[in-house]
Structure 1
Amino acid sequence: MRKDAEQNRAKILAAAGQLFEQRSVQVVSMKDIASAAQIGTGTLYRNYPNKSELCLALAVDFIQQFITTSQQYLAQTTATPVEQFQQILAQYLTFRERRLQLLTAFENGPTVMATYYQSALYQQLVDLFKQVLTPVNEKIDETELTFRADMLIAMLKSDSYAHQRQQQGLSSQQIAQLISHLMIRG
């Protein structure tokens, strides 16, 4: 990528991040982002054809940071496998709660999720959950393990999570406990 294109992308992401902290993702327009980044709207749309793709680009760093922090925890902990699963799940719920607007914006994008599901980052997230699901699910085959990891991530997509929190009135701790019951074989 050309240096000026890299600089434009960095300016766009920085401006969008600041605007999203000040106002909700839904009310910030692409024109607002271009103006804050001091670039033309054409340049913005060449880099990010829609707000969903822009939100995904912002979320990538947060998701990678969650994965890295979780891997560091797993490398250092002496907790039981069930405690490890519960800790990673709790951290994931906290991560999702903090970034709910940003994650919702890209998860509801028309084409973004198909790309995300094929990405190395999504595979790293699946692998992380497989890592903590394996010891708590003895004699589980690879197909079912992958299915459980995929379904765990799907259960916690923003719309499902928001439904459980807002309409069902569950706390994040209750959600974690209920998911643990679903995911861990007794």
Structure 2
Amino acid sequence: MRKDAQQNRDKILTTATELFQERTVAEVSMKDIAAAAKIGPGTLYRHFPNKNELCSALALRFIDQFLSSCQDYLTQTTATPVAQLKHVLAQYIIFRERRLQLLAFVETGPTVMSTYYQSDLYHRLVQLFKRVLHPVNKSVNDAELTFQADMLIAMLKSDSYAFQRQQRKLSQAQLEQLITRLLVMKD
């Protein structure tokens, strides 16, 4: 991608992030994003043909940042396997909470989720969770670890997460504790 095109793309994503912090994702239009980024609508639509695609790109960027942060933690930590699982899980819950509106918008998109499950980022997320699950579930085979990772991601999708937080009134710490109990097998 040309340097100016990459700069415009980055400007669009940064501007969208700022606007989504001020207002709900649903309230922000593509026109609002173009105006705030000080670019023409044509430039915006060349990069992102619709708001779903823009939100997907933004969500993928945030997931990538989360993954990098967790990988850095895991390469530097000397914590016990259970503590590592709890840390990564707590960070994922914080990530979900911080990006709840954006992730909910993306997860309800018509085609986004089917492509998300096939993406490299989803595969990396599964691998991250398998990495922290394996040491606490050593007797579990790879297929079962993959299933656990998939189900962990599924149980924290926006609608499930929002239900647990808003209807069940569970705190982030309670969610982390309860999910850890579900995932750590006692031999």
- TM-score (ref. length: structure 2): 0.92
Residues 73-97 of structure 1: CA deviation (Å, up to 9, x unaligned)? 1122222111111111011111111
The one-letter code sitting in structure 1 at the alignment partner of 2:5 is A
2: CA distance between counterparts of 1:50 and 1:110? 12
Written as runs of structure 1 = structure 2, the 5 A alignment for 1:27-46 is 27-46=27-46
Query: After the TM superposition, which of the residue ranges 86-95 and 3-12 deviates more from structure 2?
Result: 3-12
1:140 is paired with a residue whose SS is coil
Residues 30-64 of structure 1: CA deviation (Å, up to 9, x unaligned)? 11112222333343233222222211212222212
The one-letter code sitting in structure 1 at the alignment partner of 2:29 is S
What stretches of structure 2 of length at least 5 have no aligned partner? none
Counterpart residue number, 1:149: 149
Q: What is the deviation of 1:5? A: 3.1
Note the aligned Cα RMSD (angstroms).
Answer: 1.5
2: CA distance between counterparts of 1:68 and 1:47? 25
Are the counterparts in 2 of residues 52 and 108 from structure 1 also a CA contact under 8 Å? no
The one-letter code sitting in structure 2 at the alignment partner of 1:39 is I
Q: What is the deviation of 1:176? A: 1.1
1: CA distance between counterparts of 2:160 and 2:21? 23
Are the counterparts in 2 of residues 55 and 106 from structure 1 also a CA contact under 8 Å? yes
Counterpart residue number, 2:61: 61
The one-letter code sitting in structure 1 at the alignment partner of 2:122 is Y
Are the counterparts in 2 of residues 148 and 183 from structure 1 also a CA contact under 8 Å? yes
Counterpart residue number, 1:94: 94
Counterpart residue number, 2:163: 163
Counterpart residue number, 1:5: 5
1: CA distance between counterparts of 2:74 and 2:11? 35
